[in-house]
Every structure is written in structure tokens, then in C-alpha cells.
């Protein structure tokens, strides 16, 4: 189960598991994140995605804690899981109850899962202050609870709550609790850093001691309150832990749980540990999917799966990477389903431009790239920013090279904002557009605010010439004041993200007038998709 990995600086043998079992608690611990509320349908869909990815155990929730979790376990019975074992989560019996009469344990049995995970107290502080029972009684609670579940045909994972804090204060008692769970029949003993305050060295040292004390396999469950949950998880594995518990994107109560989107690739790519993951290239899409379902889109700076994980801005970096990507990338982004991004800004060099135009399938030329770079730097000094607006950048390059013929021209627009006593503001926009063949369309539309009215009017006018634009919708709209000291006369930068249902793109506009800046980004958004269709032969 373990293999020696040589001696560390103190001459101690470090052990590393050959294979690690992955236990996901996104649907339970992750659902405790502030602002996250999964519906039953959300949980069922996430369960199936985790199963497809190859997660070994998925903790579905706490039966009887709320109607939604009860419905989830009932509906989950209809799903044929291929790789995942669904787990019901709960607590040991109440202090003044017997196991066979405890309502919580009865609910866990009724959930119908083969596997059950229960947590129990291992920190003497919690036993005496929270539970208000003797240390001996707590040992009986743990052993009897596990045994009762085993007697009812269940397989049990024991989560040793606050284990590392308990081990630090009273190591002998913390180990006794694990032995009580083992006597009861637990098949896994999971050591929890519930408060998230442990250091990797502390976790590794404690896991090593546990491995020498118990015979059952050991897991780790780390929280991220010290920003060390991933590091602590790896420290546990290096000392012999063969299960890691965590969540997708690291969501969870307070500062979150160990982020499986970092744990998994580090285990597989850096430590050489095998898992049951079917295709690591699906990692980014899984991260994005769970982010959408939880209404907490993954942070762009998240390692491995974030938008910025393989984004390169400095010209020196890009120049070196053109020769060998290993110079500034620790892994190939495609291995985890991500991609390299070359950013364009005033810090860019010619190498950035060359790499970027190659991405677009444009013939590159170092002679032509330098004037483009100078033009970009001039625009960025005026407030434009292209590193987050790749669609506007591609249009800029093609216009500069005279490869892009503008498919339409906005010849004018008017906005009407009406306010009547006791009613909300109403907005109406009228626009006049002409296509490249001289055909004119003049129309108007209402909207929820002036920008929405302009978007509706422009789309309505252009759809006569370009029906494709009926498929486009805005998904994000951001406004940034560039020079706050200028007050109401300050320039603003508008970023608009659009989608046709298959792909998304971002465009930018800058002006002292927020309406004009918005219109720049809107026009670029529509011209971009028409350009892509033309180059793709659609």
C-alpha cells in the first residue's frame, strides 16, 4: 500500500501511497459555503459529473437535516453510478441516547447508501466543553455508533473531528478515539483539521504516528483557514494517508476545504500517485461546471484550472516560451484541460504580439508586429485594456492589417430617458445603421436602461442584414472608472461578454461617456462574431 521514498533531512523514511482514494464533499461541506444553495436537481447533476470524472466517494449530504437532502437520497437511488460510491453523512449518537434508539443514526440507515460517514469528537476540549460528557463516555459513543451501523449492514468511514488540534493537546486520547472507531468496525479513519489551523509538518507528523497505531487505512480532511489545506493534504499522503477529502474549487464553510482541483493534479503529476480519475483533461470543465452550479465561478487565479493559470503577460516570458514552454509553465496546460493565454498590454513585447496573432491563425510578421505593439500601447495609455478583451484585440489586429472589412456602420443613435412621477425610468433608443452594400436600416427599441435599449435597437436593426445576431446575448457587463480623481469627467472602461451558446468572447470600449464606451464594446461584439463566421465559412 505504501512505498519508501528515501530519507528526509532528519534521516526518517518518508512514505508515499501508491494510490489515493478521492472523497468529494462538495454536496455537503461545499454546500455550507456562504451564498451557496444547491437544489436537488443541482446535486443530482453534480453527482453524475463527479461519477463520470472518476471520484471514488461522493458525500451527498446529511439525511434528515433538511427536506432537500432527504429528496436527494431518494432520487439518487435511481441513478446507476459507474465509479462513485454515494455516502450519507451524519454524527455519532447523542450523548443521552442509545445507538439503537438514536434518530440521527436511524436516518443514516434509512438513506439507503452502502457507505456512511459519521464524525465524532477526538479533542478532549470538545468532549468536555461541547458534548459535556466524560472522556470515557465519548469513547463508548464512538464505538457503539460505528458498531450499530455495521450491525445494520453499513460500511463506515469515521471522520475524527478536530483530530489535529486534539492530537496536539492530548495525543494519547486522540489516538484512543481512533482505536474505539476501529473496534466498532470503521473501515476508514479520516483525520480532520476542522479548524484549518494546522501546518503541513504537524499533519505529517500526526499521520505518521496514527499509521503506526491503527491497522485501518487513514484519510485526511483539511480546511483552508490558514491557506494550507492542499499542502496539509499532500503532507498526509506523503506519510501514508490513502484517502484525501476535499471539494471542487475548494468551496466550503469559512475559508473552504482542500481544493481537489489542486490536490488531484499535484498527486498525479507531481507525486506520481495514481487515482481512479478517468481523464485529467476534464478537470477544468468539471471546475467550471461546479462553479456555474454553485453560482461561484472559479477564481481566475486558481492553480491548474483558472483562466490566469497559464496566462503570460511579460514580453521576456513569452519570448522564452516561444522557444520552450517549460521555461515559464510547470505543466502542459492541456493536461488539465486548460489552455495557454498570451496577454496584450503596455507591458507586452513583440513576442506577445507574434504569439497572439498566431493564435488567431494570422500570418505573423515581426516587422508588422512592432507598429501594432506601439498602437496598443498608445490605446492602453488612453485607458483601453486588451488582456481581458481578446475579441477586441483580434479585431484591432485585423483592422490594422486591413484584413477586416467592416460589415456595417453605425451612422447615428438617439436615446430617450423618460421619468414620470411615481413610475420607474423608461429608456428608448433609436439607431441608424448601414451595411457594406449601402443598405440602410433605421429602427428603435425599448430597454431596461439606456445600454440595454441600445443593445436591443442595434440588434433589431442589424438582424435584417445579419440574422445570425439573433443568436447572440450579453452575459456580463462591467464598468470601471479609469481616473477616479477626474470625478464625473473621468473616462470609463466598459467590458462586455457575449455568447452564442457555443462560445464566449469579450470586447472593450473607453470614453468619458459611459454610453459611448458601451456602444464601442457592443459594436465590437457583433462585428467579432460576424468576422468569425466569415473566416470559418459560415
pLDDT digits (tens, 9 = 90+) for 154-177: 999 999 999 999 999 999 999 999
pLDDT band at 398 (very low <50, low <70, confident <90, very high): confident
Q: What is the pLDDT of residue 423?
A: 67
**Is residue 332 within 8 Å of residue 325, measured between CB atoms?**
yes
pTM of the model: 0.70
pLDDT digits (tens, 9 = 90+) for 436-483: 899 999 999 998 888 889 999 999 999 989 999 988 888 888 887 876
* C-alpha–C-alpha distance, residues 301 and 305, integer Å: 8
- 400 SS3 class: helix
* C-alpha–C-alpha distance, residues 474 and 465, integer Å: 20
pLDDT band at 489 (very low <50, low <70, confident <90, very high): low
Q: What is the pLDDT of residue 189?
A: 98
% of the chain exceeding 70 in pLDDT: 84
Average pLDDT of 267-280? 94
> Is it the case that residue 324 has pLDDT exceeding 80?
no
Query: What does DSSP say about strands 341-342 and 2-7: parallel, antiparallel, or unpaired?
Result: unpaired
- 197 SS3 class: coil
* C-alpha–C-alpha distance, residues 45 and 61, integer Å: 14
* C-alpha–C-alpha distance, residues 135 and 176, integer Å: 10
Q: Which of 442, 441, 448, 408 is nearest to 427 (CA)?
A: 448
Mean pLDDT of the chain: 86
Fold exhibited by the domain 19-293: TIM Barrel (3.20.20)
Fold exhibited by the domain 408-535: Double Stranded RNA Binding Domain (3.30.160)
Which three cell numbers, joined as nine digits, stand for 36? 451557496
**Is residue 183 within 8 Å of residue 143, measured between CB atoms?**
yes
Domain extent listing, the chain: 19-293, 311-381, 408-535
Alpha helices for 78-218 (secondary structure H) = 103-110, 124-126, 135-151, 163-169, 171-184, 200-211
Q: Per mean pLDDT, which of 212-221, 307-316, 319-328 is the most reliable? A: 212-221
Average pLDDT of 391-398? 83
* C-alpha–C-alpha distance, residues 269 and 435, integer Å: 53
* C-alpha–C-alpha distance, residues 145 and 284, integer Å: 39
Count of alpha carbons within 13 Å of 437, Cβ hemisphere only? 3
Backbone angles phi, psi at 75, to 5 degrees: -75, -30
Which three cell numbers, joined as nine digits, stand for 101? 434508539
Domains 19-293 and 408-535 share a fold: no
Q: What is the pLDDT of residue 394?
A: 83
Listed range (7-11, 130-134, 169-173) with the worst mean pLDDT: 7-11
Average pLDDT of 507-512? 90
Amino acid at each position: 500500500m505504501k512505498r519508501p521514498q528515501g530519507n528526509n533531512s532528519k534521516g526518517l523514511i518518508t512514505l508515499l501511497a501508491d494510490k489515493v482514494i478521492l472523497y468529494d464533499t462538495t454536496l455537503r461541506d461545499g454546500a455550507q459555503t456562504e451564498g451557496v444553495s444547491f437544489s436537488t436537481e443541482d446535486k443530482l447533476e453534480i453527482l453524475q459529473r463527479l461519477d463520470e470524472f472518476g471520484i471514488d466517494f461522493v458525500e451527498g449530504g446529511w439525511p434528515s437535516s433538511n427536506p432537500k437532502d432527504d429528496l436527494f437520497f431518494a432520487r439518487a437511488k435511481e441513478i446507476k453510478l459507474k465509479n462513485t460510491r454515494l455516502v450519507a453523512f451524519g454524527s455519532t449518537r447523542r450523548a443521552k441516547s442509545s445507538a439503537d434508539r438514536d434518530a440521527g443514526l436511524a436516518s443514516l440507515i434509512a438513506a439507503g447508501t452502502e457507505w456512511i460517514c459519521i464524525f465524532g469528537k477526538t479533542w478532549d476540549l470538545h468532549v468536555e466543553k461541547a458534548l459535556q460528557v466524560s472522556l470515557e463516555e465519548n469513547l463508548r459513543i464512538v464505538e457503539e455508533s460505528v458498531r450499530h451501523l455495521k450491525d445494520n449492514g453499513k460500511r463506515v468511514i469515521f471522520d475524527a473531528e478536530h483530530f489535529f488540534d486534539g492530537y496536539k493537546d492530548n495525543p494519547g486520547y486522540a489516538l484512543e478515539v481512533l482505536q474505539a472507531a476501529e473496534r466498532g468496525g470503521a473501515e476508514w479513519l479520516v483525520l480532520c483539521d476542522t479548524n484549518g489551523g494546522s501546518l503541513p509538518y504537524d499533519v505529517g507528523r500526526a499521520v505518521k504516528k496514527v499509521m503506526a497505531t491503527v491497522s485501518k487505512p487513514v484519510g485526511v480532511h483539511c480546511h483552508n483557514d490558514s491557506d494550507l489545506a492542499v499542502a496539509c493534504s499532500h503532507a498526509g499522503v506523503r506519510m501514508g494517508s490513502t484517502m484525501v477529502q476535499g471539494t471542487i474549487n475548494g468551496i466550503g464553510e469559512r475559508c473552504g476545504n482542500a481544493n481537489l482541483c489542486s490536490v488531484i493534479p499535484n498527486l498525479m503529476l507531481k507525486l506520481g500517485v495514481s487515482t481512479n480519475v478517468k481523464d485529467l483533461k476534464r478537470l477544468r470543465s468539471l471546475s467550471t461546471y461546479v462553479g456555474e452550479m454553485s453560482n461561484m465561478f472559479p477564481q481566475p487565479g486558481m492553480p491548474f484550472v483558472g483562466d490566469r493559470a497559464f496566462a503570460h503577460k511579460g514580453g521576456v516570458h513569452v519570448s522564452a516560451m516561444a522557444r520552450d514552454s517549460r521555461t515559464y509553465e510547470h505543466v502542459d496546460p492541456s493536461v488539465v484541460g486548460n489552455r495557454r493565454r498570451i496577454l496584450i498590454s503596455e507591458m507586452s513585447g513583440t513576442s506577445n504580439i507574434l504569439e497572439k496573432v498566431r493564435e488567431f491563425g494570422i500570418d505573423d510578421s515581426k516587422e508588422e508586429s512592432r507598429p501594432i505593439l506601439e498602437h496598443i500601447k498608445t490605446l492602453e495609455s488612453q485607458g483601453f485594456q486588451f488582456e481581458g478583451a481578446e475579441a477586441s484585440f483580434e479585431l484591432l489586429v485585423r483592422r490594422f492589417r486591413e484584413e477586416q472589412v467592416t460589415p456595417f456602420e453605425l451612422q447615428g443613435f438617439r436615446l430617450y430617458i423618460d421619468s414620470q412621477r411615481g413610475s420607474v425610468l423608461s429608456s428608448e433608443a433609436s439607431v441608424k445603421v448601414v451595411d457594406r452594400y449601402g443598405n440602410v436600416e433605421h429602427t428603435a427599441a425599448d430597454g431596461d436602461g439606456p445600454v440595454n435599449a441600445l443593445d436591443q435597437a442595434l440588434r433589431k436593426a442589424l438582424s435584417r442584414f445579419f440574422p445570425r445576431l439573433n443568436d447572440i446575448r450579453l452575459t456580463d457587463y462591467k464598468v470601471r472608472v479609469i481616473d477616479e480623481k477626474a470625478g464625473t469627467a473621468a473616462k470609463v472602461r466598459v467590458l462586455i461578454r457575449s455568447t452564442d451558446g457555443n462560445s464566449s468572447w469579450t470586447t472593450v470600449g473607453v470614453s468619458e461617456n459611459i454610453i459611448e464606451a458601451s456602444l464601442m464594446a457592443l459594436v465590437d461584439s457583433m462585428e467579432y462574431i460576424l468576422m468569425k463566421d466569415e473566416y470559418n465559412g459560415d
